[in-house]
Amino acid sequence: MERKLQGKSAVITGAGQGMGKEIAKLFAQHGAKIVLNDLNEDRLKETAAEIKATGGEAIWVKADISRRENVISLIDKARSAYAAVDVLVNNAGVLRSTPFLTIEEQEWDLVMDANVRSVYLCTQAVLPMMMENKRGKIVNISSSAGKSVSTLGGAHYTTSKAAVLGMTRHVAKEMAPYNINVNAVCPGLIDTEMVRSTCGPEQIAYYESSFPIQRLGTAREVADLVLFLASDDSSYITGASIDINGGDLMI
Protein backbone atom coordinates (compact mmCIF):
# COMPACT_ATOMS: atom_id res chain seq x y z
CA MET A 1 0.00 0.00 0.00
CA GLU A 2 1.24 3.48 -0.87
CA ARG A 3 1.74 5.39 2.36
CA LYS A 4 0.50 8.84 1.44
CA LEU A 5 1.51 10.55 4.70
CA GLN A 6 4.82 8.81 5.40
CA GLY A 7 6.96 10.94 7.72
CA LYS A 8 4.25 13.55 8.27
CA SER A 9 2.76 14.56 11.60
CA ALA A 10 -0.94 15.30 12.03
CA VAL A 11 -3.06 16.87 14.75
CA ILE A 12 -6.63 15.58 14.72
CA THR A 13 -9.24 17.11 17.01
CA GLY A 14 -12.29 15.20 18.17
CA ALA A 15 -10.36 11.97 17.63
CA GLY A 16 -12.00 9.94 20.39
CA GLN A 17 -14.86 8.62 18.29
CA GLY A 18 -16.69 8.77 14.99
CA MET A 19 -15.11 10.47 12.01
CA GLY A 20 -12.15 11.81 13.97
CA LYS A 21 -11.18 8.36 15.21
CA GLU A 22 -11.48 6.87 11.73
CA ILE A 23 -9.40 9.68 10.23
CA ALA A 24 -6.70 9.15 12.84
CA LYS A 25 -6.52 5.40 12.24
CA LEU A 26 -6.37 5.82 8.47
CA PHE A 27 -3.69 8.51 8.68
CA ALA A 28 -1.60 6.24 10.89
CA GLN A 29 -1.95 3.42 8.36
CA HIS A 30 -0.52 5.81 5.79
CA GLY A 31 2.56 6.57 7.88
CA ALA A 32 1.56 9.70 9.76
CA LYS A 33 2.53 10.33 13.37
CA ILE A 34 -0.66 11.29 15.12
CA VAL A 35 -1.52 13.77 17.87
CA LEU A 36 -5.00 12.91 19.11
CA ASN A 37 -7.19 15.48 20.83
CA ASP A 38 -10.55 15.08 22.54
CA LEU A 39 -12.28 15.88 25.81
CA ASN A 40 -12.88 12.22 26.64
CA GLU A 41 -9.70 10.67 28.02
CA ASP A 42 -10.92 7.09 27.88
CA ARG A 43 -11.78 7.38 24.20
CA LEU A 44 -8.43 9.02 23.47
CA LYS A 45 -6.60 6.15 25.12
CA GLU A 46 -8.67 3.66 23.13
CA THR A 47 -7.91 5.37 19.81
CA ALA A 48 -4.20 5.58 20.64
CA ALA A 49 -4.11 1.90 21.63
CA GLU A 50 -5.78 0.84 18.38
CA ILE A 51 -3.26 2.83 16.35
CA LYS A 52 -0.29 1.42 18.24
CA ALA A 53 -1.66 -2.13 17.96
CA THR A 54 -1.32 -1.90 14.18
CA GLY A 55 2.22 -0.48 14.30
CA GLY A 56 1.31 3.20 14.19
CA GLU A 57 2.60 6.07 16.29
CA ALA A 58 0.34 8.31 18.35
CA ILE A 59 0.19 10.51 21.42
CA TRP A 60 -2.97 11.94 22.96
CA VAL A 61 -3.78 15.27 24.59
CA LYS A 62 -7.01 15.84 26.49
CA ALA A 63 -7.93 19.51 26.06
CA ASP A 64 -10.81 21.90 25.55
CA ILE A 65 -9.69 23.51 22.30
CA SER A 66 -12.20 26.34 22.54
CA ARG A 67 -9.70 27.92 24.97
CA ARG A 68 -6.52 29.50 23.63
CA GLU A 69 -4.25 28.37 26.45
CA ASN A 70 -5.26 24.75 25.86
CA VAL A 71 -4.65 25.03 22.13
CA ILE A 72 -1.19 26.50 22.71
CA SER A 73 -0.39 23.58 25.03
CA LEU A 74 -1.71 21.07 22.48
CA ILE A 75 0.42 22.44 19.64
CA ASP A 76 3.48 22.76 21.90
CA LYS A 77 3.14 19.06 22.78
CA ALA A 78 2.80 18.18 19.11
CA ARG A 79 5.94 20.15 18.29
CA SER A 80 7.86 18.57 21.15
CA ALA A 81 6.87 15.07 20.06
CA TYR A 82 7.24 15.38 16.30
CA ALA A 83 9.11 18.67 15.61
CA ALA A 84 6.35 20.11 13.41
CA VAL A 85 2.71 19.89 12.46
CA ASP A 86 2.31 19.03 8.79
CA VAL A 87 -1.45 18.38 8.83
CA LEU A 88 -4.26 19.75 10.96
CA VAL A 89 -7.73 18.22 10.85
CA ASN A 90 -10.29 20.42 12.62
CA ASN A 91 -12.90 17.77 13.31
CA ALA A 92 -14.09 18.46 16.88
CA GLY A 93 -17.62 19.74 17.25
CA VAL A 94 -20.99 19.45 18.94
CA LEU A 95 -24.56 19.20 17.68
CA ARG A 96 -27.65 20.58 19.38
CA SER A 97 -31.18 20.40 17.95
CA THR A 98 -32.94 23.13 19.93
CA PRO A 99 -35.51 25.17 17.94
CA PHE A 100 -34.33 28.70 17.20
CA LEU A 101 -36.76 30.57 19.44
CA THR A 102 -35.73 28.53 22.49
CA ILE A 103 -31.94 28.59 22.03
CA GLU A 104 -30.42 30.24 25.08
CA GLU A 105 -27.24 32.29 24.83
CA GLN A 106 -25.22 29.74 26.78
CA GLU A 107 -26.10 26.99 24.32
CA TRP A 108 -25.47 29.27 21.34
CA ASP A 109 -22.02 30.08 22.70
CA LEU A 110 -21.29 26.40 23.38
CA VAL A 111 -21.98 25.43 19.77
CA MET A 112 -20.09 28.38 18.31
CA ASP A 113 -17.11 27.81 20.61
CA ALA A 114 -16.87 24.11 19.82
CA ASN A 115 -17.53 24.37 16.10
CA VAL A 116 -15.99 27.72 15.09
CA ARG A 117 -13.74 29.15 17.79
CA SER A 118 -11.80 25.88 18.05
CA VAL A 119 -11.12 25.95 14.29
CA TYR A 120 -9.93 29.55 14.49
CA LEU A 121 -7.65 28.90 17.47
CA CYS A 122 -6.12 25.64 16.21
CA THR A 123 -5.56 27.01 12.72
CA GLN A 124 -3.97 30.18 14.03
CA ALA A 125 -1.69 28.14 16.30
CA VAL A 126 -0.27 25.87 13.58
CA LEU A 127 0.12 28.41 10.78
CA PRO A 128 3.42 30.00 11.92
CA MET A 129 5.12 26.57 11.77
CA MET A 130 3.61 25.78 8.41
CA MET A 131 4.55 29.20 7.00
CA GLU A 132 8.13 28.77 8.18
CA ASN A 133 8.32 25.29 6.60
CA LYS A 134 6.58 26.49 3.41
CA ARG A 135 4.13 23.60 3.50
CA GLY A 136 1.01 22.43 5.28
CA LYS A 137 -2.43 20.92 4.95
CA ILE A 138 -5.49 21.99 6.92
CA VAL A 139 -8.78 20.14 6.55
CA ASN A 140 -11.85 21.54 8.28
CA ILE A 141 -14.86 19.31 8.88
CA SER A 142 -17.92 21.39 8.09
CA SER A 143 -21.27 19.88 7.03
CA SER A 144 -23.87 19.97 4.31
CA ALA A 145 -25.61 22.21 6.84
CA GLY A 146 -23.01 24.86 6.03
CA LYS A 147 -24.35 25.07 2.47
CA SER A 148 -28.03 24.51 3.21
CA VAL A 149 -29.88 23.74 6.47
CA SER A 150 -29.01 21.10 9.03
CA THR A 151 -30.96 17.84 8.99
CA LEU A 152 -30.59 17.26 12.73
CA GLY A 153 -29.06 20.39 14.23
CA GLY A 154 -30.52 23.75 15.16
CA ALA A 155 -29.86 27.21 13.74
CA HIS A 156 -26.69 27.54 15.81
CA TYR A 157 -25.29 24.36 14.25
CA THR A 158 -26.15 25.52 10.72
CA THR A 159 -24.61 28.93 11.43
CA SER A 160 -21.43 27.43 12.84
CA LYS A 161 -20.86 25.15 9.86
CA ALA A 162 -21.43 28.00 7.40
CA ALA A 163 -18.87 30.03 9.35
CA VAL A 164 -16.31 27.24 8.98
CA LEU A 165 -16.71 27.39 5.19
CA GLY A 166 -16.13 31.14 5.16
CA MET A 167 -13.05 30.79 7.34
CA THR A 168 -11.74 28.01 5.10
CA ARG A 169 -11.94 30.17 1.98
CA HIS A 170 -10.35 33.21 3.56
CA VAL A 171 -7.45 31.41 5.24
CA ALA A 172 -6.83 29.46 2.02
CA LYS A 173 -6.45 32.70 0.09
CA GLU A 174 -4.03 34.20 2.63
CA MET A 175 -1.94 31.04 2.97
CA ALA A 176 -1.65 29.96 -0.68
CA PRO A 177 1.67 31.83 -1.19
CA TYR A 178 3.17 29.67 1.58
CA ASN A 179 2.19 26.36 -0.07
CA ILE A 180 -0.45 25.74 2.59
CA ASN A 181 -3.67 24.14 1.39
CA VAL A 182 -6.84 24.80 3.38
CA ASN A 183 -10.00 22.91 2.46
CA ALA A 184 -13.28 21.79 3.98
CA VAL A 185 -15.23 18.55 3.88
CA CYS A 186 -19.02 18.74 4.05
CA PRO A 187 -20.49 15.43 5.22
CA GLY A 188 -24.18 14.72 5.10
CA LEU A 189 -25.73 12.17 7.45
CA ILE A 190 -22.89 9.86 8.49
CA ASP A 191 -23.28 6.73 10.61
CA THR A 192 -21.56 7.91 13.79
CA GLU A 193 -22.23 7.74 17.51
CA MET A 194 -23.44 11.35 17.46
CA VAL A 195 -26.03 10.62 14.76
CA ARG A 196 -27.18 7.38 16.38
CA SER A 197 -27.63 9.15 19.72
CA THR A 198 -29.76 11.85 18.06
CA CYS A 199 -31.92 9.69 15.75
CA GLY A 200 -33.98 6.61 16.41
CA PRO A 201 -34.01 3.66 13.96
CA GLU A 202 -37.28 4.76 12.32
CA GLN A 203 -35.99 8.29 11.74
CA ILE A 204 -32.73 6.97 10.27
CA ALA A 205 -34.67 4.64 7.95
CA TYR A 206 -36.76 7.60 6.79
CA TYR A 207 -33.70 9.67 5.97
CA GLU A 208 -31.99 6.77 4.22
CA SER A 209 -34.97 6.24 1.93
CA SER A 210 -34.94 9.94 0.98
CA PHE A 211 -31.32 9.99 -0.23
CA PRO A 212 -30.38 9.20 -3.86
CA ILE A 213 -27.85 6.74 -2.42
CA GLN A 214 -30.18 5.14 0.09
CA ARG A 215 -27.99 4.66 3.14
CA LEU A 216 -25.96 6.62 5.65
CA GLY A 217 -22.38 7.41 4.80
CA THR A 218 -19.60 5.76 6.79
CA ALA A 219 -16.86 7.36 8.82
CA ARG A 220 -14.31 5.52 6.68
CA GLU A 221 -15.70 7.13 3.52
CA VAL A 222 -15.22 10.55 5.10
CA ALA A 223 -11.73 9.57 6.25
CA ASP A 224 -10.77 8.56 2.71
CA LEU A 225 -11.74 12.02 1.46
CA VAL A 226 -9.85 13.75 4.27
CA LEU A 227 -6.77 11.63 3.49
CA PHE A 228 -6.90 12.79 -0.13
CA LEU A 229 -7.01 16.44 0.97
CA ALA A 230 -4.17 15.88 3.46
CA SER A 231 -1.92 14.20 0.89
CA ASP A 232 0.15 15.53 -1.99
CA ASP A 233 -2.54 14.24 -4.36
CA SER A 234 -4.53 17.42 -3.67
CA SER A 235 -1.71 19.94 -4.07
CA TYR A 236 -3.69 22.13 -6.51
CA ILE A 237 -6.87 22.22 -4.42
CA THR A 238 -7.37 25.00 -1.88
CA GLY A 239 -10.33 26.97 -0.56
CA ALA A 240 -12.65 24.16 -1.65
CA SER A 241 -15.59 22.63 0.18
CA ILE A 242 -16.16 19.07 -0.95
CA ASP A 243 -19.50 17.33 -0.43
CA ILE A 244 -19.94 13.75 0.73
CA ASN A 245 -23.66 13.24 1.28
CA GLY A 246 -24.98 10.46 -0.90
CA GLY A 247 -26.55 13.02 -3.23
CA ASP A 248 -28.75 14.52 -0.50
CA LEU A 249 -27.55 18.00 -1.45
CA MET A 250 -26.68 18.69 -5.08
CA ILE A 251 -25.49 22.19 -5.99
From CA 251, how far away is CA 248, in angstroms rounded?
10
Question: What is each CA distance from 157 to 37, 45, 68, 237, in whole angstroms?
Answer: 21, 28, 22, 26
DSSP-assigned letters across all residues of 154-206: -HHHHHHHHHHHHHHHHHHHHHGGGTEEEEEEEE-SB-SHHHHHHS-HHHHHH
Catalytic residue among 120, 157, 178, 236: 157
- Candidates 171, 146, 174, 143; CA nearest to 159 is 146
DSSP-assigned letters across all residues of 37-85: EES-HHHHHHHHHHHHHTT-EEEEEE--TTSHHHHHHHHHHHHHHHSS-
- Candidates 234, 35, 16; CA nearest to 129 is 35
82 carries an active-site annotation: no
Please list the active-site residues: 157
